[in-house]
């Protein structure tokens, strides 16, 4: 972590990045794919928990991937959010995820994130999901 950052700056970055994690879950559950996609950096990439090694890169491709999914009702519950500030423009994150779909057993997993600060604020540079069970 950069020695130049004050404790208040570090807390602000942690807060902003944790808020992205919550916003992602809420917009995903609302099927607001444009809002979800806007949370990524323009060349950001994501890998779904069901395919953690299958990267989708760029906002256009991410939006297309969400729109291609069959409609469903979901509720993502994210917790244990831990943000590590690397420097003034980069942070890493890990969070636990519980997914309810109304069909079958809930899915339990995690997200591993890399955040980047752009002129308009913090975004996901990378979001990788993993299923535990």
Return d(Cα 19, Cα 13) in angstroms, integer.
Answer: 10
Judge whether residue 1 has pLDDT over 70: no
pLDDT of residue 20: 98
Average pLDDT, the chain: 96
Structure tokens at 46: 């994501």
pLDDT band at 104 (very low <50, low <70, confident <90, very high): confident
Label the pairing between strands 56-57 and 40-47.
antiparallel
Per-domain residue ranges of the chain: 7-131
Confidence bin at 102 (pLDDT 50/70/90):
confident
User: Quick one: what percent of the chain has pLDDT higher than 90?
Assistant: 95
Q: Which of 107, 48, 38, 112 is nearest to 75 (CA)?
A: 107
Fold of 7-131: Nuclear Transport Factor 2; Chain: A, (3.10.450)
Q: With pLDDT > 70 as the criterion, what percentage of the chain qualifies?
A: 98
What does the DSSP 8-state code read for residue 71? P
The predicted pLDDT at position 80 comes to 98
pLDDT tens by residue, 21-63: 999 999 999 999 999 999 999 999 999 999 999 999 999 999 9
**Residue pLDDT, tens place only, 71-84:** 999 999 999 999 99
Q: How far from 19 is each of 42, 76, 123, 129, CA to CA, in Å?
A: 19, 14, 10, 17
Is residue 10's pLDDT more than 80?
yes
């Amino acid at each position: 972590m950069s020695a130049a950052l004050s404790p208040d700056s570090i807390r602000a970055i942690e807060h902003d990045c944790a808020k992205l994690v919550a916003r992602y879950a809420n917009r995903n559950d609302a099927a607001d794919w444009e809002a979800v996609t806007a949370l990524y950096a323009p060349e950001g990439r994501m890998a779904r928990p069901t395919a953690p090694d299958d990267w989708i890169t760029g906002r256009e491709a991410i939006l297309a991937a969400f729109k291609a999914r069959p409609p469903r009702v979901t509720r993502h519950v994210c917790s244990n959010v831990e943000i590590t500030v690397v420097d003034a423009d980069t942070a890493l994150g890990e969070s636990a995820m519980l997914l309810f779909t109304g069909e079958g057993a809930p899915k339990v997993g995690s997200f591993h994130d890399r955040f980047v600060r752009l002129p308009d604020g913090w975004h996901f540079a990378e979001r990788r999901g993993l299923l535990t069970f």
